[in-house]
Amino acid sequence: MHPVYLYKILSVGDWEKSRGIVHVSSMDNAFIHLATQEQLPGILAKYWADVPEYVVLKVETAKLQGRLVFEANPGGVNKYYHLYNGSIPMNAVVESKISHST
C-alpha cells in the first residue's frame, strides 16, 4: 500500500515549464524520484542545499500515471519511491511551495 501523498522536488524553471504534467529534469530519465515527508529533510540537505530556490510538490499518489515502486537506488540501501514509465499530472499536485535554501 502506497502512501496517500508523496513529494517531488524540482527547480523553479522546471515548475514554470509544467503544463498539463509536471516537467521533470534529466535526472528523472530512468524514473521519476519521489520522497515521503520523512525523507524530505535529508534529500533537501544532500541534493538541494546549494540551490537558492526550488519547488516542493505534494502529490496524490492515486493520480500518478505509471508504475510506482518502493526500492533502493542502484548501489544504495535506503528505499525511495520511483515512478517508472509515467508522469505527474498537474491534477495530482495538491500543494506547491517555493522554498529557499537556508
Check if the beta carbon of residue 81 is closer than 8 Å to that of residue 68.
Answer: yes
Read off the C-alpha cell for 31.
Answer: 524514473
Lookup result for grid cell 519521489: 34
Query: If you search the block for the grid coordinates 524530505, which residue do you land on?
Result: 40
- Sketch out the chain's domains with CATH numbers: 5-100 (3.20.170.20)
What 3-state DSSP class applies to 39? coil
Say if residues 18 and 51 touch (Cβ distance below 8 Å): no
Instruction: Show pLDDT as tens, one digit a residue, over the chain (102 residues).
Output: 889 999 999 999 999 999 999 999 988 989 999 999 999 999 999 999 999 999 999 999 999 999 999 999 778 888 999 999 999 999 999 999 998 876
If one counts every other C-beta atom within 10 angstroms of the C-beta of residue 24, the result is: 20
- The confidence score (pLDDT) of residue 60 equals 98
Closest CA to 88 of 13, 19, 40: 19
Max Cα-Cα span within the chain: 35
Model pLDDT, residue 102: 60
CA distance 42 to 67: 24
Cell of 95: 500543494
